[in-house]
Amino acid sequence: QVQLVESGGGLVQAGGSLRLSCAASGSISSINTMGWYRQAPGKQRMLVATITSGARTNYADSVKGRFTISRDDAKNTMYLQMNSLKPDDTAVYYCNADVLTRDYYEANYWGKGTLVTVSS
């Protein structure tokens, strides 16, 4: 089994910063693409950013220049540095990862999410 646990969410004023973390644990051989998604109240879950095992990154237009995704493969951990936060960034942020387990089973996993609230 593989678990993804997000942390770092909270309440911040507009213009502020937060750093989210996603720690993967369990029977992990390697992790391919990892990503952050978010779901605002009453809206569909949407992509925020992804990072491949080769550190290639992709961002939603709404966060380009403000958010930075990174990963530490030695710790099986992914990060999202969020700067210049806006009230529209308020959402539950979810971690996602494509994992190859030690018994060579490849599957996609989700964390349970962490709430980010940006006040105006």
Check: CB of residue 23 under 8 Å from CB of residue 5. yes
What is the per-residue burial (b if ≥16 Cβ within 10 Å, else e) of 12-22?
A: beeeeebebbb
**Three-state DSSP state, 112:** coil
Check: CB of residue 7 under 8 Å from CB of residue 77. no
Taking only the tens place, the pLDDT of each residue in 81-91 is 999 999 999 99
Taking only the tens place, the pLDDT of each residue in 16-66 is 999 999 999 999 999 999 999 999 999 999 999 999 999 999 999 999 999
Task: Quickly tell me which residue has 């992804």 as its tokens.
Answer: 50
Integer angstrom CA distances of residue 44 from 27, 66, 74, 91, 97: 30, 22, 33, 11, 19
Output the CA torsion sign for 47, 53, 54, 55.
positive
Q: Tell me, what's the pLDDT at 63?
A: 98
Integer angstrom CA distances of residue 120 from 64, 85, 92: 20, 10, 18
